[in-house]
Structure 1
Amino acid sequence: MQTTMTPQGGQAGSAGLAHQNKLIGLMMSLFFAFGFCTVLVDTLIPKLKGMFQLSYAEVMLTQFCFFLAYFIVSAPAGWLLTKIGYLRGVTLGLLVMAGGCLLFTPAAELGTYPGFLLALFILASGVTTVQVAANPMTASLGDPSKSHARLTLAQAFNSLATMVGPIFGSALILRGNVALPEPATLTAPALAALRRHEAQAVQLPFMGIAVALLALAALCWVLRRWAPVAAAQSGGGATLRLLKNRRLALGAVSIFAYVGAEVSIGSAIANYLMSGHVLGLKPQVAGSLVSVYWGLAMVGRFIGAAALRKLSPGKVLTGCAIGAGCLAAASGLSTGMVAAVTILAIGLFNSIMFPTIFTLAIEELGEETPQGSGILCQAIVGGAVVPLITGFAADRLGLSLALFVPVVCYVWIATYGWLTARSPAHAGETLGEVLG
């Protein structure tokens, strides 16, 4: 039998505190795993852009396909968790992630852009399943009043992965040149052969990741009986009713905006730092500096995990969103080192946003927390939509002015933080009470 945990985090059965602490440690490992896989997309972007001679909008299809999986898979994943349990769902998600990583090998052998997009979608489908389970499970393991801090700490391990990932990816994927000769200078067979050769740099890192994911899946399967039981879903009508809860509905919009802004900036950094008006760096150096952006997010999350134990989550969220928006605007309006430093510093202010929005949005949902988690994870589709808008803006206005797309997102997030700070959570709160 699985160990049962109440919605408030109190544990029943024989697992005890020791099992709970081990599960918290396992959650930290999961956040590291899907963070590492997600951030490698940022490293792939310069490689694929040069290899297939893509525009910014075209190369942002990588993020579109990756984050589209959140919208498509989140609801089925939430339903699946109520049937098989949290850790069984996580195990399945990790296996799908490993399958997506292995699909990079045939994509590289064929040297086709759609092949990479398919592999990214499969990988992201697994990431989505894991994340739908990991967020509410982490929030529920322990004192409910510390859920903001606990999920922020888990996100810190996610940020550790996103800091290490670009260094790993740039060393193996971005070494050498990322741009190929103009297609007009090569015959079709020669161009296809060159693309296959360059794509082989992607195979080894993703094969290694697949092996690690399979090992983690085995561990989750062994510990599956320790996990809390997810409450049964009540069907589509319950989802529509949940969306009347203003914290959840506006929180979903905020997750959409936050992930969109974070992914847009993370995806643009390498090409931004390679630009002549910024630093004009070589691809491998620019790619490795993406780790600074995510590293600052990690630092901020460790600081935030402590700060959120004492400060109002809504007020902290508002302050961080204002800071991130100001830095993005400052970078877009400047050049050289100032532009580089300000865009990298956004990571520090991004740090607490996702976990804080998430826990603010699911407060007081009780047994409907899994359904609420599914709705919020669907909103991660912002990582597909906003980067695509940013890419279109970059093609027409340049990367600098395109940063004002994320600025708009941060304005909304600051508003959500202010609304939640002035209105304590109440179960059943409706959209009509947003200014009440």
Structure 2
Amino acid sequence: MNATPTGTATTGEAPTSYRSALTLLASLFFMWGFITVINGTLLPHLRSVFDLSYTQTTLIESVWFIAYFFASIPSAKLIERIGYQRSMVVGLGMMAAGALVMVPAARLPSYEVTLFALFVIASGITLLQVAANPYVAVVGSPETASSRLNLVQAFNSAGATLAPLFGGYLILGRTTSGTAAAGAAALTPAEKLADAQSVVLPYVIVAVVLAVLAVVIARFPLPAMGAATRRSAKADRKGHSLWAHRNLVFGIPAIFIYLIAEIGVGNLFINFVSQPEIGNLTHQQASNYLFLLWGGMMVGRLVGAFVMQKMEAGHALAIASIGATIVMLIAAVTTGHVAMWALISVGLFHSIMFPTIFTLGIRDLGPLTEEGSGLLIMAIAGGALVVVQGWLADSYGLQASFFLTAACELYVLFYALWGSKPVVRGGLS
């Protein structure tokens, strides 16, 4: 299909305007990566403050990703109504408001208000995701879409890489639970209250940065993502079905399942490497190693952006999924620093997965690109099923729960080798 997909910049825009727009969008990728990964340091903190089981701890992250399911379609409708630029401003405003709600959540302290605050922040990020990912994918040559999205997603990983240092210093490093040795005695009520309030300063800082970024984007001359293409696409969509595209049909569960793997590793990492038989670290010390996990994703995306200018995206995805499966099995069956470094290294293999699956999923959709993109973003809700890994950790042990992650990597391998291949006209064979 040669029709211009919805969201493609109108012809006649100078390439320099694309570059400046992508540079600004990189800051959005950075911020939502940063805020998402702060949860990795926030969760062990909340587990200590509220005496949570692993199931209850991962439920916090499930609420975060449930927001993707509920907010994706309304986000697409909002973008259609007010445009990309205003929607980005609204998304940043929602994120700032949610960050400020963390202040009363910490002062009460309240597990339920914390869940609400994180849901609001995640809804704002969903709005940004629905706008930014397809924008980056369609601005430029389709052949280099995976390379381009991997490059911009590297800024997402840069935010994710810095977040553990920020959270480790301002949250875990200033709390009794964060600096206590593994197996230390339970916190007293006074210590729990003091620990809970340690999140106030970090989230106020985040809210201020988001508000400033919203003002910058509101005043920036982003290239118009033309309404004309939207009208022509509406006519072109007649007679076409999303479900006739194998790469999208199998790409939706690929995103869903991959997110279970990525979020499970990130959220349980600190608890895992803190165990005496693995790294025997304090939570604050473990957050420094989480920095390496997300740093590996940043490096992998930068390398992937270069490699996939020359290598077919499906082949690169297959290699990454094989590597991820191997290191997750090592993490699940070994102990000590071997298990710890195996878990750290999975970030390198995970790095290209989301942007590559996304661009393979919308490949050749033509006038159906907007709807396909919305469904792929909705599939990020798969991260909510990290609660299943929490249940496995409670029932069978934290280390054994990583067999679930290895199984998720195998589905990504299936998608890379077969599911991502565009359907031949007339069927899924």
Structure-2-length-normalised TM-score: 0.92
**2:294 equivalent in structure 1:** 294
Distance 1:118 1:259 in 2: 21
Structure 1 partner of 2:161? 163
Q: Aligned residue for 1:399?
A: 398
Tell me the SS of whatever aligns to 1:400. coil
Amino acid at match of 1:254: A
Letter in 1 for 2:207: A
Give the CA deviation at 1:82. Answer: 1.5
Shift, 1:366, TM fit: 2.1
Aligned length: 417
| From 57, 72, 75, the counterpart of 1:74 | 72
Cα 1:159/1:427, change in 2 over 3 Å? farther
* Aligned twin of 1:212: 209
Report how far residue 143 of structure 1 moved.
2.1
Quote how far apart the aligned CAs of 1:244 are. 4.2
The aligned residue for residue 414 of structure 1 is: 413
Determine the C-alpha separation between the residues in 1 that align with 2:426 and 2:416.
Answer: 16
1:428 deviates by 6.9
CA contact (8 A) 2:161 2:295 kept: yes
- Asked if structure 2 preserves the Cα contact closer than 8 Å seen for 1:91 and 1:218, the reply is yes
Aligned to 2:355: 355
Task: Give the aligned partner of residue 146 of structure 2.
Answer: 148
Counterpart residue number, 1:91: 89
- Alignment-mate amino acid for residue 412 of structure 2: I
- 8 Å CA contact retained: 1:94, 1:127: yes
Determine helix, strand or coil for the equivalent of 2:250.
Answer: helix
Judged with a 3 Å threshold, the aligned counterparts in structure 2 of structure 1 residues 360 and 393 are, in CA distance, closer, same or farther, namely same
Question: Which residue does the alignment assign to 2:126?
Answer: 128
Given the superposition, is the C-alpha separation of residues 223 and 428 from structure 1 closer, same or farther in structure 2, using an over 3 Å criterion? farther
Instruction: Output the CA distance in 2 between the equivalents of 1:8 and 1:374.
Output: 12
For the residues of structure 1 that align with 2:7 and 2:66, how far apart are their CA atoms? 31
Q: Read off the aligned partner of 1:404 and give its amino acid letter.
A: F
Maintained 8 Å contact 2:105/2:114: yes
Structure 1 stretches of 4+ moved >4 Å? 8-11, 179-183, 426-430
Equivalent in 39, 43, 50 of residue 45 of structure 1: 43
Query: How far does the alpha carbon of each residue in 1:296-349 deviate from its partner, in whole angstroms, 9 at most, with x for none?
Result: 011111110011111111111111111101111111100001000000000000
Q: Matched residues in 2 for 1:143 and 1:10: separation?
A: 11
Deviations 1:180-208 (A, max 9, x none): 9658xx6xxxx3x5433211111111111
Q: Name the SS of the counterpart of 1:399 in structure 2.
A: coil
Report the Cα distance in structure 2 between the residues aligned to 1:420 and 1:27, rounded to whole angstroms: 30
The answer to whether the 8 Å contact 1:80/1:89 transfers is: yes
Q: Determine the structure 1 residue equivalent to 2:317.
A: 317
Contact 1:364 1:426 in 2 (8 A): no
- Mapped partners of 1:61, 1:279: distance in 2: 25
Q: Percentage identity across aligned positions?
A: 37
1:146 CA displacement: 1.2
SS at match of 1:310: coil
Check conservation: 1:252, 1:376, Cα contact below 8 A.
yes
Q: Give the Å deviation of 1:121.
A: 0.4
Post-superposition Cα deviations, 1:48-102, rounded to whole Å, max 9, x if no partner, equal 0011111100100111110000000011111211222112111111110111111
Q: Cα distance 1:229–1:429, how it changes in 2: closer, same or farther (>3 A)?
A: farther
Contact 2:252 2:376 in 1 (8 A): yes
1:280 is aligned to 280
* SS of the residue 2:279 aligns to: coil
1:259 to partner: Cα distance: 1.0
Amino acid at match of 2:210: L
AA aligned opposite 1:368:
L
Q: Which residue of 1 aligns with 2:194?
A: 197
Aligned-residue CA RMSD in angstroms? 2.4
Question: Could you tell me how far 1:429 is from its partner in structure 2?
Answer: 6.8
Over 3 Å counting, the alpha-carbon distance change for 1:122 and 1:148 in structure 2 is: same
- Which residue of 2 is the match for residue 378 of structure 1? 378
Name the residue aligned to 2:305. 305
CA, structure 1 residues 91+302, in 2 after alignment: closer, same or farther (shift >3 Å)?
same
Asked whether the equivalents of residues 256 and 383 of structure 1 are also in contact (C-alpha less than 8 Å), the reply is yes
Tell me, yes or no, if the aligned pair for 2:325 and 2:406 is still in contact at 8 Å: yes
- Where 2:125 maps in the other structure, the secondary structure is helix
Distance 2:274 2:300 in 1: 26
Contact 1:67 1:384 (8 Å CA) reproduced: yes
Equivalent residue number for residue 177 of structure 1: 176
Deviation of 1:378 after TM superposition, in Å, equals 0.8
Report the Cα distance in structure 2 between the residues aligned to 1:308 and 1:333, rounded to whole angstroms: 33
Deviation digits for residues 149-191 of structure 1, max 9, x if unmatched? 00000111111111111011111110142279658xx6xxxx3
